[in-house]
Amino acid sequence: MKKYPYPHIRTELPGPRATKIIKTDEQFVSPSYTRGYPCVADQGKGMILIDIDNNEFLDFCAGIAVCSTGHCHPEIVATIKKQAGKLIHMSGTDFYYEVQANLAKKLNRLAPGSHGNRVFFTNSGAESIEAAIKLARYKTGRTRLIAYIGAFHGRTIGALSLTGSKVIQKEGFAPLLQGVTHIPYPHCYRCQFGKIYGRCKLECFQYLENILFQRTVPPTEVAAVFIEPIQGEGGYVVPPREYLIKLQKLAEKHEFLVVADEVQSGMGRTGKMFASEHFGFVPDIICTAKGIASGMPLGAIIAKKEIMDWPPGSHASTFGGNPIACAAALKTIELLENGLMDNAVAMGEHLLKKLNRLKRKYPVVGDVRGLGLMVGMEMVKDRKTKTPDPALRDRIVERAFYKGLIILGCGSNSIRFAPALIVDKDHIDCCIQILEEIIAEECSS
């Protein structure tokens, strides 16, 4: 077994200082958070997360796909410091400032399609979704919305109405938005229509056109379909290539909008600035957040100029487009364009190759899929029946932590790999070594 200089676990986990912090947290912090294991972060450096007891972890989660340039990238830190010394806040709602205008110009250029776009700034993914819901309704004058089973769009009331991930996220919060319909996501490994990709007629798409639009939802009342070009929290699911283009054509026919939720899949993670580009898909509105500013809270929606034509006062945000966050985003984009997106392609291939080797070796690995550094692995009871094994997934994620590897689950039984885009081959090989050790032990017990 190759020795790597990381991870380095020095204490029992949680260590003494971590135990103290967890106690305080349990006493005072909302119990609604879902901590799978006792990780008390103190410092981050690139791919390494150091906990409060000086234990060093290899981080394949990057703050849930947020720290795209790695923890505390020196150029990001310098940019934040410089901007903080100049202007911390002003509010783009009522004032102009250079970094916000420059970032909007940049995002306009980066969005797929023509470059006649406008940008609205938010503080989070959910807020970007809220802005998109409002814009879609405002622009079309229609109210109905369509989203996907398994989708995660956030937890504010509008975004939550579109979310179709877990019932616990919705239980007790009704009434949500009216007129939202969820349909099956195009998920070839677990086709809801019992088909096999290549031998199917894209029944998942036909369901929308031939069932939903014929029987329950008049397409003339639909404001927008919200879709994650790669479903994130739902299990890192990559749709079949042609699905998104067909959706775009259907939208043109019925004059509704297609909103791409690129909150998790965007900003270079898949090897292209936006995952939509892999499919030749040009959304009407793109929602982004997470990785856009390397960890500073920022979100944005990007829409064609003729769509984002709402008048002054119709939508705004005090903090959205904060100068420090915008400066960090401009630097993040520069780093992405100057090598990190290329690295995401190369390292994504390496990661997929290594995970596929695990799949061939261990029948509990049902499926491995992804684009760039947005990669998922489904754990199953056996490969033939594809029966999901969420308990095994949970054990692997937890045991990985105790061995010094930070990963998270997604979907009911998948593990997600969303490292920073600075990840190298050694990091990946080390991650795989730890995983294999755990999977081999699980399979032999």
Ligand X SMILES: Cc1ncc(COP(=O)(O)O)c(C=O)c1O
Return residues touching ligand X (CB under 6 A): 124-126, 129, 152-154, 228, 232-233, 261, 263-264, 289
- Share in percent of the chain as helix, strand, coil (round to 5): 40, 20, 40
Given the complex with ligand X, which of 112 and 154 has the nearer CB atom?
154
Start-to-end C-alpha separation, the chain:
21
Residue nearest to ligand X (CB): 125
Residue 231's beta-bridge partner residues? 237
Given the complex with ligand X, which of 152 and 205 has the nearer CB atom?
152
Q: How far is the CB of 153 from ligand X (least distance, A)?
A: 5
Given the complex with ligand X, which of 7 and 229 has the nearer CB atom?
229
> Which residue, 445, 416, 439, is CA-closest to 365?
439
Please write down the HEC assignment for all residues of 256-272: CEEEEECCCCCCCCCCC
| Six-digit token string for 174 | 């009704």
| Six-digit token string for 231 | 């479903």
Given the complex with ligand X, which of 124 and 343 has the nearer CB atom?
124
Q: How far is the CB of 127 from ligand X (least distance, A)?
A: 7
Q: How far is the CB of 299 from ligand X (least distance, A)?
A: 7
- The label of the residue with tokens 């299990």 reads 235
Q: How far is the CB of 332 from ligand X (least distance, A)?
A: 16
Q: How far is the CB of 124 from ligand X (least distance, A)?
A: 4
10 by Cβ neighbours in 10 Å (0-12 / 13-18 / 19+) ranks as: exposed
Q: How far is the CB of 230 from ligand X (least distance, A)?
A: 9
As a whole number of angstroms, the distance between CA 83 and CA 226 comes to 35
Inter-residue contact 436 to 365 (CB < 8 Å): no
Residue 368's beta-bridge partner residues? 377
Given the complex with ligand X, which of 125 and 419 has the nearer CB atom?
125
Q: How far is the CB of 317 from ligand X (least distance, A)?
A: 13
Given the complex with ligand X, which of 264 and 343 has the nearer CB atom?
264
- Strands of 257-261's sheet, edge to edge? 117-122, 299-304, 285-288, 257-261, 222-227, 144-148, 180-183
As a whole number of angstroms, the distance between CA 326 and CA 120 comes to 12
Given the complex with ligand X, which of 263 and 347 has the nearer CB atom?
263
Given the complex with ligand X, which of 112 and 125 has the nearer CB atom?
125
Q: How far is the CB of 162 from ligand X (least distance, A)?
A: 9
Please write down the HEC assignment for all residues of 99-164: HHHHHHHHHHHHCCCCCCEEEEEECCHHHHHHHHHHHHHHHHCCCEEEEECCCCCCCCHHHHHHCC
Q: How far is the CB of 264 from ligand X (least distance, A)?
A: 4
- The label of the residue with tokens 């499919």 reads 279
Given the complex with ligand X, which of 244 and 392 has the nearer CB atom?
244
